[in-house]
Structure 1
Amino acid sequence: MKYQIIPVTPFQQNCSLIWCDETKAAAVVDPGGDMDRILAEVDKLGVKLEKILLTHGHIDHVGAAKELADHAGIPIIGPHKADSFWLDNLPEQSKHFGFAHSEPFAPTQYLASGDTVTLGSLTLEVLHCPGHTPGHIVFFSATSRTVWVGDVLFHGSIGRTDFPQSNHQDLIDSITKNLWPLGRDVEFVPGHGPISTLGTERDQNPFVADQLFS
């Protein structure tokens, strides 16, 4: 498996292009905007875009999803159905955050813990990690030891929980009970900022380090 981070939107959201090195089958994780930039990277890398994967329903992660799906004729997979109200609310999100107008949409398929997404010879495991939003999910590649965590966890920080239906304790539980068991060596790609490892955050993150719960 290979991936390329493509920063998009004024929020510099880490949209990721993931692809199977054997088949060149590719997926875009969280296309928040700048569709032309995403497509230019697809062309540059010579991969075949087959799916759009969404971690949650905030506009900086989904703003270009419908446009890209329609343009490329590909399905939108995820997030969990508990985030449907965020997708229904995209016009209001557009106004509130100063983004270009975005129409509501429903994904081709909602996801839940235990589901898997295939991409060529790759398999991504789905974990439901609520807290930042109620329907937030993450995508984990056990073979490459990489997880795409959206806005659940960041290098040195955690996701905001001051949005409608956010829940701080749910977020802490998602990190400590769902992410930590994946392994200290696992590298994670956050929705914003630099990549890190789960072990680094268990040691140093001021919000969820192990020492806070001992």
Structure 2
Amino acid sequence: MDYRIIPVTPFQQNCTLLRCPDTGATAIVDPGGEPERITAALAAMHAEPAMILLTHGHLDHVGATPALAAQLGLPIVGPHPDDAFWLDALPQQAQMFGFPPHEAFRPGRWLADEDVVELGNRRLRVLHCPGHTPGHIVLFDADARLAQVGDVIFAGGIGRSDFPRGNHADLLRSIRERLFPLGDDVRFIPGHGPMSTFGEERRTNPFVGTAS
């Protein structure tokens, strides 16, 4: 799987372009803002945009979704329906964080645990990983040994669980019981900051590592 990470918005949220190397079909994952930068990156990759994929409903991960969907004629896929209330609250989220006004929207397809998203010749396995938000999902390409984890886990950190309907115990369980068993060699793209591997975080992460 080819990929390009584009940090967007003042929160430096990692929008990722996941591209099937065989077909060029590309998913725009978590387009939080700055749609013009995202479309420029698509052109530079010679990518064929196929869909928008959302890991969860926070504004910094979904803010540019309606504009890109309309401009490029793309379906919106994900997150899990337990995050519907976050998408409904986008106007309030924008006001709270000082963003321009945003309208609520719904995806064309919700995702559930163990669903599969087909992207060209690649298959992305969906893992429901609540805790940061109740409807957070992770996307895993088993062939590429690559995971898109949103705000579940970071290099040296974990997602916040103090937002409405967040749950710290669920977050730890999602990481330890759903993500780490995928394998130490799996690289992951987090919602913010640099990439890491599950093995590195299992060994050293102060919140969920073996020494925690």
Task: With the length of structure 2 as denominator, give the TM-score of the two structures.
Answer: 0.99
SS at match of 1:27: strand
2:150 corresponds in structure 1 to: 150
Structure 2 residue 169 is matched with structure 1 residue 169: yes
Structure 2 residue 48 is matched with structure 1 residue 43: no
Structure 2 residue 16 is matched with structure 1 residue 16: yes
2:71 corresponds in structure 1 to: 71
CA distance in 1, matches of 2:122, 2:110: 19
Q: Give the letter aligned to residue 158 of structure 2.
A: I
CA distance in 1, matches of 2:66, 2:136: 18
Structure 2 residue 204 is matched with structure 1 residue 207: no
1:211 CA drift (Å)? 3.2
Deviation digits for residues 153-212 of structure 1 (CA, Å, limit 9, x no counterpart): 000000001100000000000000000110000001000000000000000000001233
CA distance in 1, matches of 2:77, 2:29: 10
Matched ranges for 1:1-214 at <5 A: 1-212=1-212
SS at match of 2:79: coil
Q: How well do the aligned residues superpose, as a CA RMSD in angstroms?
A: 0.6
Gaps of 5+ in 1: none
SS at match of 1:5: strand
Q: Give the letter aligned to residue 195 of structure 1.
A: M
CA distance in 2, matches of 1:211, 1:193: 22
CA distance in 2, matches of 1:108, 1:210: 40
1:106 CA drift (Å)? 0.4
CA distance in 2, matches of 1:66, 1:20: 23
Q: Give the letter aligned to residue 188 of structure 1.
A: F
SS at match of 1:211: coil
Work out whether residues 204 and 211 of structure 2, in 8 Å CA contact, stay in contact via their aligned partners in 1: no
CA distance in 2, matches of 1:64, 1:74: 12
Deviation digits for residues 121-160 of structure 1 (CA, Å, limit 9, x no counterpart): 0100000000000000000000000000000000000000
Structure 1 residue ranges, 4+ long, deviating more than 3 angstroms after superposition: none
CA distance in 2, matches of 1:44, 1:211: 43
Work out whether residues 115 and 126 of structure 2, in 8 Å CA contact, stay in contact via their aligned partners in 1: yes
Q: Give the letter aligned to residue 36 of structure 2.
A: D
Number of aligned positions between the proteins: 212
Identity %: 58
Q: Give the letter aligned to residue 44 of structure 1.
A: A
SS at match of 1:210: coil
